[in-house]
């Protein structure tokens, strides 16, 4: 089980970091059209 748990934790952490960085780069107050283009990347 641990062999699966460790990569899963790493994926969750990297996703959380990406979401955190995205929120820092693109504030929620910004217009939606800018957000749409950022999600494509």
Q: Tens of pLDDT along the chain (41 residues)?
A: 677 888 899 999 999 999 888 777 666 565 556 555 555 54
Q: What pTM was estimated for this model as a whole?
A: 0.45
Contact of 26 with 38, CB cutoff 8 Å: yes
Residue 28 in tokens? 């929620």
What is the average pLDDT value for the chain, to the nearest integer? 73
Question: What b/e readout covers 4-29, taking b as 16+ CB neighbours within 10 angstroms?
Answer: eeeeeeeeeeeeeeeeeeeeeeeeee
């Amino acid at each position: 089980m641990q062999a699966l748990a460790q990569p899963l934790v790493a994926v969750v952490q990297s996703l959380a970091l990406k979401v955190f960085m995205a929120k820092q780069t693109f504030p929620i107050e910004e217009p939606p059209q800018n957000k749409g283009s950022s999600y494509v990347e």
